Structure 1
């Protein structure tokens, strides 16, 4: 009978196995690795045997992604039981009498924080864990969790489900800090307090950077430390990934891992039996350390939201505020655009907002134009930022640039898909959703980058978010708005509304919402424009009477007059129920918007001058 693993770890350092997927991939297999437990069992068995032959004391089941959520990508979500059961059988078949077999359950949300509801994760975890535990594993290994809240949730479930040893691994993008800004030391302490028996880190970082992260980690009071570094940073050649770390490099760093207090040392992506053998040789007969001195370092993260600028939306909390959307040109002749900015400023606009390549068509950078407006005009700029055009690297770079330029007011939107624009063959990125991007921007305000690394200075962004009231289920739209508030949205700007009753219903639906909402008003340019918006632009619907009135206009002048009448009627209703109004300039025709701005200012003057005026409930 083998010694319980926690008792064995009191005496010596144990060696874990390395990557399963790396070896299978090197064999020419590039598919759902967990399905191979059934279809190519001999290959999986061979990998286990190779690691045990290299000196691994602990092997993991080939079940990292064997949950319903990840298997659904292959249409295999109903095979959770079969794949996990087969994985345990294969690992136990390969094991020697003294080998420990741990059931592996990988993180679901991953590095990109994709939106998977917590209850889905709970359900998926329970289903997979039950099969692994029924199969007779020696413990559970929770690995590659970038989302710390997810790891805490599944650790609690695991501790409720079993008394067997549990390994809990976080993953870092930057050495020593999680992507939420929490230090590795703090995270490991919390995992220990939640019942993990072995705490540590795996993936992303190679030996050098993982050692850097571990230098600030004290020995746990009860649990043991573990580390599973990557082989190296991957190289990409001829359509394949390659890892090229020399085994001697791993042998050298084995001693460093031991000196940082590691009691379980294995490998992650890019590691092979050769690397595991190098770890074994590097440790040789070394005893584990039992004391460790850690120097305390002062955090460089600054948490502050103070900034001298008054947020643009403050005015809408107690008085009338009007923003104007005026998009940057699609060409390099900017003289007409800046004449428009001057006219809108003189007419009383409280902010000029500029879309981020609206309708997926390229325009002059709104950041560049926004900075020029900030330098040359008194009206403040508000720049839109889409999830469509930039990957995570570009988004972080762009946000840092906006802060340096002093452009602190941003509207976060998903962005129209590229196929509707001038370059339908271009790629839509969407690394993050609009809600995730809102969270990222607010994380920047605490001086923390997406990877969790300190920015060395907080940003000062105020975040507007989009709201679409033109839906059948308005309550559902309001629930989405509330989720955006939870993510950090400060205020909202709506899609254009063309129905006065819809404005009233929207106001009722938003009762109890403290965040200001700017209701969108967009003048029409013609009957053709009205039909196009109604039939072809997502998120916009026009009432029949509005389309009929525009269709009845026989000349351009009649169309302009009718359009202004409709817009003023919508403004009248909006001013009864909303403090914030968002005027959308149609096709660069700023003279129309100027006239509506003057109308709002005059109407507001008259309303304030009229004693006894009773308005509806103001949002």
Structure 2
């Protein structure tokens, strides 16, 4: 009798965690490599679970795909690992006639940039091909946080094989996926895509897994599965531990059965004792065939609080739009910064932009200074957010705080690594890159948190992305812009540009895009400053002509300032003809230089309007 036939009339028990036992043995490298180097260890674990009462075991192949194995330099071992894994599992299962599932693990977490769907399908074809050649009783897809990935995998596998497919999502919060999709809806979709068994695994312990299934209807044709963690994880003396008694896990299995689950196993933290407890509790229980689900009240998501300012990206599509960067202080004296921001904003610019600890050096929080500028001085600010300094918890908290303060213009950047800054020993976080951060901010605009939970109100962020045009092959940089647009970028802000030719090149390379671009102009203050920018700051390059002009000013500070402004004005002449957006970067809090450039742009625009009116009048 096949797996699906048995599930029609019986509750079945699956095995528990493989990695938990290997970790407890002191093994902390690629577990799939053990299929070749220590097959007896893997077979022994299978046998322990079978002895505990598991009706189903899974192959030790969770990360046995080219994408995941590349981190170990083992991407050419896909065939060997998978073929060996299924041989080991079948050998262990042979005496008791247990079912053997070929395991395929999720690749993406919250970072879609970890792999494209095409790359995932290519890796899937390779791994699934070797697993299917070993004639498994089914394929187990587990620990998929990204529903787009799992949907793609299920649909692709259904075209390749008729063997049963067990398709399991992972959730950060009970009953909802990280994209905001309800678990019940997700499982129904997976059934429609061709999965025979649908369910959940990992991340949540028994309590929250049961809670998640309370809102899940019995599928029309598929069966439900659940592989909870033993508990929420903890860390003791640097080691991951799970606090859960086996009997508690077994009692929880009965409650999962009461929610309609027919296949119950274990994920992280579970051991043969947990599986033995599950088997003892559910072996003689019939499956649930009818279930009434009380529909939960849908949480209303209110519309975003409207800003009386027009979003920068909308304004820049139509007319001249100037923003000016002013670095927040590296000390606690703020008077000069506030004075500069007041004078800059009084000229009529659209926003004062503030970096987020640029060059990995600590400054007063741009959230704090942005709040002061808004509340005390009615100044609109644009806050940069780097992925370097905050994990996902901190990023969401920070963004929620910005929304509460009414700071709606955001520049999402990956950020300079900490080793370039004042504290080279500090940790760079990088839970996500700027690409994912843009997507997550847009998710907040839909009223959905990073974990998928409703936020009760939509955020109202206009999201800028960084653009570094100072590269050898501009086409590649433009391809990255297009990816950022796909992720939701509303407009772009460039690194400072120092040649008119580069500005023209940017225009030609991006004129097919409708997304506005703000061209970065930063006046130089002297030759030392110029050479530092050119030789040491990532993403900035000066031309030989500009370096020579600044070198000619020698040690004369006034002459150097004048020459720096003259160069900036020449660049503005070209930028203003081709782009509506101008981004002036104030050097060293020298807002007097920025003021002169703002006035220059405004005079240019007045002149342009006057020339237009003159031509119109004379014709």
Give the TM-score normalised by the residue count of structure 2. 0.97
Q: Distance in 1 between matches of 2:557 and 2:22?
A: 68
Q: Distance in 2 between matches of 1:88 and 1:381?
A: 58
Contact 1:348 1:597 in 2 (8 A): no
Give the 5 Å matches for 1:71-470.
71-95=69-93, 96-300=95-299, 302=301, 304=303, 307-309=306-308, 310-470=310-470
Q: Can you list the C-alpha shifts for 1:7-32, whole angstroms capped at 9, x where unaligned?
A: 11111111100001111111222211
Query: The residue matched to 2:203 in structure 1 has which SS?
Result: coil
Q: Distance in 1 between matches of 2:558 and 2:25?
A: 72
Query: The residue matched to 2:299 in structure 1 has which SS?
Result: coil
- Which residue of structure 1 aligns with residue 564 of structure 2? 563
Q: Can you list the C-alpha shifts for 1:221-273, whole angstroms capped at 9, x where unaligned?
A: 01000000000112212222112211111121122111111111100000011
Task: State how many pairs are aligned.
Answer: 612
Q: Can you list the C-alpha shifts for 1:256-310, whole angstroms capped at 9, x where unaligned?
A: 1111111111000000111011111111411111110011223225274572432
Query: The residue matched to 1:567 in structure 2 has which SS?
Result: helix
- Which residue of structure 2 aligns with residue 54 of structure 1? 52
Give the 5 Å matches for 1:7-46.
7-46=5-44
Query: The residue matched to 2:562 in structure 1 has which SS?
Result: helix
Q: Can you list the C-alpha shifts for 1:377-429, whole angstroms capped at 9, x where unaligned?
A: 24311110001100111111111111111111111111111111111111111
Contact 2:11 2:283 in 1 (8 A): no
- Which residue of structure 2 aligns with residue 546 of structure 1? 546
Q: Distance in 1 between matches of 2:596 and 2:27?
A: 66
**Shift, 1:115, TM fit:** 2.4
Query: The residue matched to 1:286 in structure 2 has which SS?
Result: coil
Contact 1:145 1:151 in 2 (8 A): yes
Q: Distance in 2 between matches of 1:489 and 1:574?
A: 21
Query: The residue matched to 1:460 in structure 2 has which SS?
Result: coil
Q: Distance in 2 between matches of 1:102 and 1:406?
A: 52
Q: Can you list the C-alpha shifts for 1:43-88, whole angstroms capped at 9, x where unaligned?
A: 1111101111111101001111111111111111111111111111
5+ unaligned residues in a row in structure 1: which ranges?
Answer: 615-619
Q: Distance in 1 between matches of 2:607 and 2:175?
A: 61
Q: Distance in 1 between matches of 2:305 and 2:368?
A: 25
Q: Distance in 2 between matches of 1:57 and 1:46?
A: 16
**Shift, 1:471, TM fit:** 1.3
- Which residue of structure 2 aligns with residue 512 of structure 1? 512
Contact 1:499 1:542 in 2 (8 A): yes
**Shift, 1:112, TM fit:** 4.4
Query: The residue matched to 1:36 in structure 2 has which SS?
Result: helix
Contact 1:18 1:268 in 2 (8 A): yes
Q: Distance in 2 between matches of 1:523 and 1:251?
A: 69
Query: The residue matched to 1:11 in structure 2 has which SS?
Result: coil
Q: Distance in 2 between matches of 1:84 and 1:313?
A: 50
Contact 2:324 2:583 in 1 (8 A): yes
Give the TM-score normalised by the residue count of structure 1. 0.97
- Which residue of structure 2 aligns with residue 617 of structure 1? none
- Which residue of structure 2 aligns with residue 481 of structure 1? 481
Q: Can you list the C-alpha shifts for 1:130-150, whole angstroms capped at 9, x where unaligned?
A: 111111211100000001111
Query: The residue matched to 1:610 in structure 2 has which SS?
Result: helix
**Shift, 1:613, TM fit:** 8.5
Contact 1:303 1:445 in 2 (8 A): no
Q: Distance in 2 between matches of 1:585 and 1:239?
A: 45
5+ unaligned residues in a row in structure 2: which ranges?
Answer: none
Are residue 498 (structure 1) and residue 498 (structure 2) matched?
yes
1:65 aligned residue (58, 63, 68): 63
Contact 1:345 1:378 in 2 (8 A): no
Q: Distance in 1 between matches of 2:542 and 2:110?
A: 41
Q: Distance in 1 between matches of 2:272 and 2:265?
A: 10
Are residue 589 (structure 1) and residue 590 (structure 2) matched?
yes
Are residue 603 (structure 1) and residue 604 (structure 2) matched?
yes
Contact 1:301 1:447 in 2 (8 A): no
Aligned-residue Cα RMSD (Å) equals 1.4
**Shift, 1:612, TM fit:** 6.9
